[in-house]
Amino acid sequence: MAEKKSPASGWPIVQGDFHSGDPNSPVAVVTMGSHLDEKGICDAGAAICGSCKTENLGLEKVIANIISNPNIRFMLLCGTEVKGHLSGQTLIALHKSGVKEGRVVGAEGAIPFIENLSGDAIKRFQEQIEIVNIMESEDLGAIKAKIHELHEKDPGAFPADAMVVEVKEAAGGVEVAAAGVNPQFLEIEKRLDKIEKQLEFVDAEVAQRVGRKIGRDIGILYGLVVGLIVFVILLVLLPKLSTIM
């Protein structure tokens, strides 16, 4: 059996949009912008499961909860990427290349600035965790199968003890990373959130219209099929009826 260590007292240490499971599990699941069955995913063997919608504070919270539990050795990325923020791509870039002058190297999101994580915390994240990327998948069966697969590969707890970092938020929940770099980023963040909500509304409206059109098309097709069946029946029966008469 793989060796286990005690996570930090009160783990998960940072509150957020997630569900926690077995702290001895080697797998943390991040659903990016999707809201899946987090409890079901934890019941399937994840230590923690939740979304990560921003490429700065949200990312910092995820990492803080992971490095404070040495038993977590895999980060499974799934669900849909977050438009504009690209928090999944930023997580991968941070794990691969770290931070330079406060900015995640290679990140493509709007404001990928790190304020609360020290160089040591980032290095710990890079060394402790292997990222497994199945982003864009919301298939619970596939996610649970991957968790089981990763359990089979459990290397045991990271050799060092839990690392605790404090993730601070500015008043009103505004992300400190953006505010600490340039106030203009706050306005960018607000605009991105507004655009994201508009895109979600448009996506929902398009889906409804497509659904209505498909419904109409199926109705027309059904009518044509029924009409064709009736026509064929008449072709078969009319000669027989004529003979009888």
Name the residue with tokens 């994240």.
Answer: 125
CA–CA separation, 90 vs 106, rounded Å?
8
Reduced to 3 states (helix: H, G, I; strand: E, B; else coil), residue 12 is: coil
Reduced to 3 states (helix: H, G, I; strand: E, B; else coil), residue 50 is: strand
Q: Tell me the two tokens of residue 164.
A: 């605790």
Q: What is the pLDDT of residue 220?
A: 78
CA–CA separation, 243 vs 237, rounded Å?
10
Q: What is the pLDDT of residue 29?
A: 98
Q: Tell me the two tokens of residue 243.
A: 């003979």
Q: What is the pLDDT of residue 221?
A: 73
The reported pTM is 0.71
Reduced to 3 states (helix: H, G, I; strand: E, B; else coil), residue 65 is: helix
Q: Which amino acid is at 182?
A: N
Reply yes or no on whether the pLDDT at 55 is more than 80.
yes
Q: Tell me the two tokens of residue 30.
A: 């991040």
Distances in Å between the alpha carbon of 188 and those of 80, 84, 94, 191, 216? 22, 10, 22, 5, 42
Q: Tell me the two tokens of residue 199.
A: 């895109």
Q: Which amino acid is at 185?
A: F
Return the exposure string of 202-231: e unless at least 16 CB atoms fall within 10 Å of the residue's CB, then b: eeeeeeeeeeeeeeeeeeeeeeeeeeeeee
pLDDT in tens, 154-178: 999 999 999 999 998 754 444 433 4
Tell me, what DSSP letter sits at residue 172? G
Q: What is the pLDDT of residue 116?
A: 93
Q: What is the pLDDT of residue 203?
A: 59
Over range 24-52, report the average pLDDT.
Answer: 96
Taken in order 102, 74, 166, 159, the sign of the CA dihedral is negative
Delimit the domains of the chain by residue range: 18-181, 183-245
Angle (nearest 5°) at CA 208 between 202 and 212: 145
Q: What is the pLDDT of residue 172?
A: 45
Which positions ≥6 away from 129 have C-beta within 8 Å? 66, 72, 73, 74, 75, 95
